[in-house]
Structure 1
């Protein structure tokens, strides 16, 4: 019996303009309980690539409208100066789990929370919120 060839499906891709240089790469699994708001507004020192394993995620990056990502879908964010406003569980009665591969700048934290003062200063960069 001959093993069939592996099936590869492209889930997401990004063209990164800035050279990454030396990097610390982390892969994490994040589980959000029903209705969890997830992490407060934050940023990452480098790009993040994610894949939703189960549930639904409300995802919002600075300058982009919030959107719902569902199980089986992928997402990415550029990191750096971009604020990540939301990664919340969109379901009130089920867990949401995703895998994230984070390319971090060595010596910098993978995740840095944004202060209320900076959020106010950059409010004009946030996409208008849904009614």
Structure 2
């Protein structure tokens, strides 16, 4: 299992575009969720932070160690376009290290068995 949190800085004056992107994801959630399935991504969350004059986005995800190749969904191209337009490439993305991951075994097992009921409580690593 891979748990990631990465911090990106938004280019100046692009907050409105970030709003548009978030609205687009909400409006196209079915497509967004399909991409997660193909990537073996169980959780993806985007956080926003305004710190002084800078805005930051944090991408949090939980996925399998060996994701499959991404399928060519329209939403993936829109994400690439969003990054090109809105993410400040002069700011080195900051990958934060997960020191502790707390997840009940039943949740972890459910994630890694495709949501199928699992009768044993062994951890999947």
TM-score between both structures, scaled by the size of structure 1: 0.29
Higher share in strand: 1
Higher share in helix: 2
TM-score between both structures, scaled by the size of structure 2: 0.30
